[in-house]
Amino acid sequence: MSEEKRLTTEEKALNINLTPDIYGSFAEIGAGQEVAANFFKAGGSSGTIALTHSAYDMKVSDTIYGKTKRYVCEERLIKMLETEYKTLTKNLHERQEDTRFFAFCNTVESLNYHKTNQGHGWVGIKYQVRPNTKPSSIILHVKMHDRSNRSQQDALGILGVNLVYSAFHYLNKDMETFVLSLVHRLPRERMEIDMLRFDGPDFEHIDNRLIALKLVKKGLTEATMFDQTGAVLQPATALYKKNILLIRGRFRPVTKVHIDMLSSSRKQFLNEKGVDENQLQEVFELTLKDLTADGQISDTDFIDRAELLGALGYTVVISNYLKYYKMVDYLADFTRGKKMGVILGIYNLHVIFDPRYYENLNGGLLEAFGRGFGRNVKLYVYPAKDVETGELYQLENFKVEENLKGLLQYMFDNNKLEGIKEYNPESLNIYSDDVLAKIKSNVSSWEDDVPEHVAKAIKFMELFGHKRADLKNA
């Protein structure tokens, strides 16, 4: 183990305190009062801390930072960082030639007295990598799982020191090392980071979508997401009280089948009671399993898929939820009772009704159905051609074991299962693996299997191994 990995929280804080050119301020709202305290306790804090304060009263906070809809949100954190950094550098401009200024801020909701809420918070640092340069920032969202207020505050204190220390010491290391350094001495059962973003001139080389992937890949969270522009999102905020229509797959690449599945099910979903088109969020989900090839996850392959989905205007979730019920259970915490739709192929429905799929649960298949499909959710099932007979296989002739027929009927009777009606029969002959093989082999007929705008995006961005004709002949 390296020397840095052995450092305690106190030693990291002391290291920063004794670094003469690092100087900044701390502003903490809510439960996050322990970060600055760790720097004070370490000793030598006068070498690092210009100011520390807590605008605990809401009116005081509004006076300093301006009003926001919520006090524990990204918007509030960004206003805090901007205000504190601007104030610091303005008041201490005479030190700008030989000082790396920083502003550390957090706004946090910890466990309440009755333990009925999920502790969470926004944490960030705005700072200079070198003196007298424009600042960059690191912003993250955390979910806290300790079951006492005091323990959650302690965890935040460790996280804050890790962030400040890593911001100044790990920039020249790989991003995987940086990500893991944030949770040093913070096991997953205590804290989860479900959003991490790098902004500013010193981070222009960083693709935040890859950072999102690393959060899930390294087990720091089960799911994270980004929008069509590539901007990472905090799932609970982005999906709050939304009607979600979810489609999961490999999307390697997106074909006419995927688009047909989405557009056909959307029409049916919008006819459901309580579904508001203005509050509809379509989500493409990539699981770690679907991103894995030959036991590895290729960053290039992942970015190809992300670029294509972004070019099509879709929001993407990366998750470690192999089983459907877990993803539905996860999303339901954000929708707050709003209707969800899940799109899947007929053969995937067989997996959902397979008891072997739930052997890890004490309650088996019934527990899974209760946790996932007991929610306000409906499955939309896309047909397929039988691989042996070539006949149409759809929900109307879906067969399950005799002992599961009652459960299947329950799903029908309670409006939790419906076949996709207005599908395009020609799409049933398209398979993503075949399309990918054609792209890599430069067989032009692949363009017939994808929407026109998808073909243009693949050719323009040279995705999935496609090479432009002018380059092939060069």
List pLDDT tens digits, range 5-37: 689 999 999 999 999 999 999 999 887 689 999
pLDDT at position 95, please? 96
pLDDT at position 470, please? 53
Which of 169-183, 242-256, 317-331 shows the lowest mean pLDDT across its residues? Answer: 169-183
Please tell me the total number of residues recorded for the chain in this structure. Answer: 474
- Give pLDDT tens digits for 366-375: 999 999 988 8
Q: Are 394 and 346 in contact (CB under 8 A)?
A: yes
Q: pTM score, two decimals?
A: 0.92
- Give pLDDT tens digits for 175-210: 889 999 999 999 999 999 999 999 999 999 999 999
Instruction: For the chain, give the percent of residues with pLDDT over 70.
Output: 97
Residue 246 scores a pLDDT above 50: yes
Whether the bond into 201 is cis, omega within 30 of 0: no
Write down all domains in the chain, each with its CATH number in brackets: 3-206 (3.90.950.20), 238-429 (3.40.50)
Residue 399 scores a pLDDT above 80: yes
pLDDT at position 4, please? 59
Residue 113 scores a pLDDT above 80: no
Listed residue (86, 101, 16, 103) closest to 52, CA to CA: 103
- Give pLDDT tens digits for 402-427: 999 999 999 999 999 999 999 999 99
Residue 301 scores a pLDDT above 50: yes
- Give pLDDT tens digits for 122-163: 999 999 999 999 999 999 999 999 999 899 999 999 999 999
305-313 mean pLDDT: 91
pLDDT at position 214, please? 95
Q: How confident is the model at residue 69 (pLDDT cuts 50, 70, 90)?
A: confident
Residue 473 scores a pLDDT above 50: no
- Give pLDDT tens digits for 419-470: 999 999 999 999 999 999 999 898 889 999 999 989 999 999 898 988 766 5
